[in-house]
Amino acid sequence: MRTLLATLAALLLTAAPALARSAPVQLGTALNSGGIDNAPYVDALRRYDAVTPESALKFAELHPDGGRYDFAFGDRLVDWSVANRKPMHGTTLIWCYDAVLPQWLLQRSWTRDELIDVMQDHIRTVMDHFEGRVPAWDVVNEAFARDGARRDCLWQRVIGDAWIELALRAARAADSSAKLFYNETAADQPNAKFGAVEAIAADFKARGVPLDGVGLQYHLLQGDAPLQFLAEDAMRRIGALGLALHVSELDGITSTFTGTREQKLDRQAQAFQTVAAACQAVDACFRITLWGAADHWSWRGTGEMAVALDEHFAEKPGWAGIREAIRPAPLPAGQPPSAPGRPLASRAPNAGVFTVSWPASWDPEGAPVNYALEHRDADDAAWSPVASGVRGLGFSFAPGRLERQGTYRYRVRASDGSRAGVWSEEAQPIVVDRADPAPPAITPDRAPDGGGWYRDRVTLTFAGAGDPVLLDGSAGSGVDPSSVPAPSSFASTGAHTVSGIVLDRAGNASRSATATVQVDAAAPQASLACPQPVAVGEPASATWTASDAGSGLVGPANGSLPLDSSRAGTFTARYEAADVAGHRTPATCQYVVGEAPDPDPEPSPEPTASATPTATATGTPTPEPDELAGAGTAPPQQGGPATDAAAGGPAPAVRSATPTLRRASRVGRDGRMRLMLRCPAACSGRLSLRAQRRTLAARRFRAAAGQVRVVLRLAKRDRRALARKGRLAVRLAIAPDGAEPVLRRLTLRR
């Protein structure tokens, strides 16, 4: 049902203008001042229905001096038009274009009132003079700039915006029977300038400012016509205001086309036929005026072949094209051409520049055919014309003549010049998309690890974020997956910024998306320093410092930890620095808690067991780190102290007195050395020599109060080392059972 209605609507829409048109569209020509005395030219004029003097009725021609009008030449043209029943369209009373104004107007400076007087006097005098002979006048010509603002010219500068209205009112007062027109160039489709013309015309209609019609010039500067539906739209909108409409100046240069003369003229014929078909389709459009009766009389120059008759006044294809559109000949006997093949538009979505082509139609009588192309987007109830009179097997949308946005179907039909065949099958729909896709989404592989920072590395992934729906409700062309940027990974410390765009399948680029991430690729630096020595029971603390180059430290950059010094032993203190990104760096130091050093140590005794001293106890209990390393560590504990007894284990049942070292002998060839201890009371325990994290020799001892001699023996390896170096720094650990060990530094000598 819906389809049926749509088809009916389409039929009505295409058929309506032809049915409703009350009189055929007239074909006019510019009437060149120099042509009136040229017989072939005057002959050619007879092929047109109406004339517009190209220059003879313009301001400078009729009003060459301030106080003087010159109607001699204008009268000849006007009289010719009356005598030959070619209604004249007079142009132009007031043209907003200083270059065409006479010097006397430009060289003086005018007050606003003076210039209004000049303008009104000109209009009144000229229209009075030709009253009854010139039925229509362009009162105002070309008042707007391309952007729709008022164009700069003498009238605008001195009088201001009111000049157009003042001119129209003066014209109506001068000749109430003449039709009054506004004429404009480059407003032949709904662009900004057209919008300004439409708006002022609507305003004038609403306020009763006299205006009867609008002329749209079609000087086709690229040679091609606007898309037909756009030309029709402009014409229809003027008609909708209750105004008459004409194509006031049609010409089209051909030097912009490639190919042979024939190909250029065929292309021009397509342009002319398209404009003519648009005019034919709009009731308000009553005339098409070619701006030149023949190429050699055209202001574009003969070489441009800009109008419809050639320099021999022969009909060019454009002439036939216009006639076909506005003066369909009575149907000849015979059959219409066949339906062309199904048109093919490039299936790739595009931004409006592409070609629709089709397989040829054939005409049973062998007549040459031309084609009409129509399109319909997703929400169009009816087809609308793109181009008429195409004399080839394709039509190209081009920059300056882009297809609208939407999802379009195309159909085409052939005409043999008087009879149109049936429509082809519809082309597959094609997406025309000029809307930019959304900027891509950029997503990190995880949430930041802390405080907005990523620890070690982060990967950012791009993804398409959609392509807007088109005006006809159809989907855009969609993000082109191959345009999505590859992921970026960052693994160095600092802020990293990525940015990227995506393209949609029609080639439109999104705005750039940007994301910045902060990566902390390095753990903090941390160090911990333990005091040495620590006496049992004496308060002590280790100090730490930390730093972090990236995310920064959690907590302060330095501080101290209290150490447990309640008992003797070797302990490890532990501190852990942490950064905001979640890195942790442990730092440890070891400390030895021992007896307070003897404030008055006994002098080192000389060896007694041999003639030469064999070893010297140094009396300083300071441990050396390398000797203590590996003595034990505590489990990690962030930011706080951890201590652990190095020589732990269950306390023995008997508690020994702690002996002191009295003497140490040199090391003999056999590796033996004697140590003399003195026990204040009964003592037992273990003696050991340690160096480089190794125990060199060890021996238990047990004695009553008094002297005790312990012999230790070095292994071969250490004897050799001693022989080589001459001396060895070692630690003597005196570990009484059940009591804290005591460490002594010793230098072994041979």
Which of 32, 643 has the CB closer to ligand XIL? 32
Structure token pair of residue 600 = 């008055």
Alpha-carbon distance 9 to 18, whole Å?
Answer: 15
CB of 31 to ligand XIL, least distance (A): 11
Residues 689, 696 contacting (CB under 8 angstroms)? yes
Q: Could you tell me whether strands 213-220 and 179-184 are parallel, antiparallel, or unpaired per DSSP bridges?
A: parallel
Strand extents, DSSP E, 2-62: 26-31, 50-53
Please name the residues in contact with 607: beta carbons below 8 A apart, sequence gap of 6 or more.
613, 614, 615, 663, 664, 665, 666
Residues 509, 439 contacting (CB under 8 angstroms)? no
Alpha-carbon distance 674 to 689, whole Å?
Answer: 12
Task: Give the distance from CA 649 to its chain's centroid.
Answer: 72
Which of 249, 548 has the CB closer to ligand XIL? 249
Element (H, E) at 700: strand 694-703
Which of 69, 299 has the CB closer to ligand XIL? 299
Residues 212, 176 contacting (CB under 8 angstroms)? no
Which of 358, 384, 389, 356 minimizes the C-alpha distance to 372? Answer: 389
Residues 59, 138 contacting (CB under 8 angstroms)? no
Interface residue list for ligand XIL (CB under 6 A): 54-55, 91-92, 141, 183, 185, 217, 249, 299
Alpha-carbon distance 698 to 738, whole Å?
Answer: 18
Which of 55, 228 has the CB closer to ligand XIL? 55
Which of 418, 424, 317, 413 minimizes the C-alpha distance to 372? Answer: 413
CB of 93 to ligand XIL, least distance (A): 12
Alpha-carbon distance 3 to 481, whole Å?
Answer: 36
Which residue is catalytic, options 54, 184, 232, 249?
249
CB of 482 to ligand XIL, least distance (A): 49
Which of 217, 273 has the CB closer to ligand XIL? 217
Residue 191's identity, in one-letter code, is N
Residues 212, 243 contacting (CB under 8 angstroms)? yes
Strand extents, DSSP E, 595-653: 615-617
Alpha-carbon distance 94 to 196, whole Å?
Answer: 18
CB of 183 to ligand XIL, least distance (A): 6
Establish whether 606 is a catalytic residue: no
Distances (CA, A) of 302 to 297, 314, 455, 583: 7, 13, 77, 84
Length of the chain: 750
Residues 465, 438 contacting (CB under 8 angstroms)? yes
As beta bridge partners, residue 612 has: none
In a 3-state reduction of DSSP, which class is residue 34?
helix
Which of 93, 734 has the CB closer to ligand XIL? 93
CB of 94 to ligand XIL, least distance (A): 12
Say how many CA atoms lie within 13 Å of 69 toward its Cβ.
17
CB of 22 to ligand XIL, least distance (A): 28
CB of 185 to ligand XIL, least distance (A): 5
Please name the residues in contact with 11: beta carbons below 8 A apart, sequence gap of 6 or more.
none
- Looking at residue 276, the DSSP 8-state letter turns out to be H
Q: How many angstroms separate the first and last alpha carbons of the chain? A: 120
Which of 188, 403 has the CB closer to ligand XIL? 188
CB burial of residue 732 (10 Å; 0-12, 13-18, 19+):
buried
DSSP letter string over 161-200?
TTHHHHHHHHHHHH-TTSEEEEEESS-SSSSHHHHHHHHH
CB of 235 to ligand XIL, least distance (A): 18
Which of 299, 313 has the CB closer to ligand XIL? 299
CB of 287 to ligand XIL, least distance (A): 15
Which of 181, 397 has the CB closer to ligand XIL? 181
Which of 182, 410 has the CB closer to ligand XIL? 182
Which of 141, 616 has the CB closer to ligand XIL? 141
CB of 300 to ligand XIL, least distance (A): 9
CB of 41 to ligand XIL, least distance (A): 15
For residue 667, the tally of other CB atoms under 10 A from its CB is 24
The residue number with the shortest CB distance to ligand XIL is 299
CB of 55 to ligand XIL, least distance (A): 5
Establish whether 249 is a catalytic residue: yes
Which of 28, 621 has the CB closer to ligand XIL? 28
In a 3-state reduction of DSSP, which class is residue 114?
helix
Largest CA distance in the chain: 160
Alpha-carbon distance 378 to 360, whole Å?
Answer: 27
For residue 647, the tally of other CB atoms under 10 A from its CB is 13
Distances (CA, A) of 298 to 90, 189, 263, 308, 561: 18, 24, 20, 10, 102
Catalytically annotated residues: 142, 249
